[in-house]
Structure 1
């Protein structure tokens, strides 16, 4: 698995977005809705973040709720 800055992961009813990817740590934001971008910031080691992602699904940009809304308004 390759972690990159800006990735959004869905785990249960929460979304995790990688805000800052560093050599030894990850800073991420936990959000209820990725469209509002409101949430709490956390900093953990990469190892801890990978454990946190167990069972989570990486969302592709076209599968994000905000992308669905913009596609509907474009039609």
Structure 2
């Protein structure tokens, strides 16, 4: 699977969670080596926290994750 802006990933609670619940990550900006994403508790909400990380760490966060939406 190729990463793209607008994708929403539902993380595995074993890898990345908030209080034991799955977290949704929406890719806001995708660069060659960096990813800016928004961390949300619900996929259809505007509430969330913007975070920056490397692409390598982001891929570790979405390990065993499920692609919920692929908005291009």
Render the CA deviation track for 1:8-47: whole Å, top value 9, x for unaligned.
0001421100000011100000001122221011111110
Q: Which structure is higher in helix share?
A: 1
What stretches of structure 1 of length at least 5 have no aligned partner? 62-75
Q: TM-score under structure 1 normalisation? A: 0.74
Instruction: Give the alignment of 1:64-75 within 5 angstroms.
Output: none
RMSD: 1.2
Q: TM-score, normalised by structure 2?
A: 0.77
- How many residue pairs match? The answer is 61
Which of the two has greater strand per residue?
A: 2
Query: Is 1:41 matched up with 2:41?
Result: no
Structure 2: any 5+ residue segments left out of the alignment?
14-21
Pair member with larger Rg: 1
**Higher relative contact order by CA 8 Å / sep ≥ 6: 1 or 2?**
2
